[in-house]
Amino acid sequence: MTTRLMCLGDSNTTGDYGVSYVGMLARRLAGADVTVTGSGVNGEVSYGLVQRLDPVIDQQPTAITVLIGTNDAWGTLSDANARQVVKRCELPYAPSAPRFREHLASIVARLQSATDARIAVLSPPVLAQQLDSAAARTGREFAEIVADTAREYGVAYLPLFERQCEQLRNSDADPVPLRTGEREWYSAVLQHVLLRRSYDRISERRGLLLTTDHVHQNSRGAGMIADLIEQFVKDGVTDR
């Protein structure tokens, strides 16, 4: 029986600003009777994903992964970030950890009630490379929320944040502080498109191990996401 995997998320799922883990998965699983579909929206927060579950449910995938929370977390780091996220996503309130917990629970509960899919939730990728920074502490808080939600609803938990932190700790990468925003994102894309630099080369020039711009993944970061999801899918195939 074909496994129909749908990956839900934000720009790290669309792959428009970095390396696509969805494309990696499709290539890796091409001979394993698995179809892979990405359902990401650039800039999306958990509130937005709650609102667009109907088209996902209509397709009745047999496996679903949820990678959301990066924009929620980023929006809590300053009042300016919060205002930007609220305006861009047309939110009724500012992003927060409690709101993220509420939305993620709604997403998982709805998918459980309306599909027969195996579900996995991933902790968000780490922001930048300073593991003692406010961004890292916020990322850890959001990862704990994802883990709590997985336990509460009995779905798989894929510890992306933890794996990426471990990768950074075990590397000689400089603790580059968080510098993010549209200028960083678009600069990486323009270098990729106009100068034909690979996203990995852009990462290298910026001193970044896992991302192109502190947020969006390079080959190493995307590969870590693909590794976790590939194992989740293969575990399900084995269990059938």
Inter-residue contact 145 to 100 (CB < 8 Å): yes
Contacts (Cβ under 8 Å, ≥6 apart) of 150: 108, 121, 156, 157
> Between 3.40.50.720, 3.90.1310.10, 3.40.50.1110, 3.40.50.970, what CATH number should domain 3-169+218-239 receive?
3.40.50.1110
What pLDDT was estimated at residue 237? Answer: 60
Q: What is the pLDDT of residues 123-166, one digit of tens each?
A: 999 998 999 999 999 999 999 999 999 999 999 999 999 999 99
State how far the Cα of 137 lies from the Cα of 159, in Å rounded to an integer: 15
All structural domains of the chain with their residue ranges: 3-169+218-239
Alpha carbon 73 to its chain centroid, in Å, reads 12
| pTM confidence score | 0.94
What pLDDT was estimated at residue 239? Answer: 54
Cα–Cα nearest to 70, from 93, 37, 19, 104:
104
Inter-residue contact 149 to 103 (CB < 8 Å): no
Cα–Cα nearest to 121, from 234, 225, 17:
225
Alpha helices in 36-181 (DSSP H): 46-51, 53-58, 70-75, 79-89, 97-114, 134-153, 160-169
What pLDDT was estimated at residue 190? Answer: 86
Beta-bridge partner residues of 63 = 5, 118
Inter-residue contact 236 to 4 (CB < 8 Å): no
What pLDDT was estimated at residue 184? Answer: 76
State how far the Cα of 122 lies from the Cα of 116, in Å rounded to an integer: 19
State how far the Cα of 2 lies from the Cα of 186, in Å rounded to an integer: 38
> Which amino acid type is present at position 12?
N
Pick the residue with more confidence: 145 or 236? 145
State how far the Cα of 188 lies from the Cα of 202, in Å rounded to an integer: 7
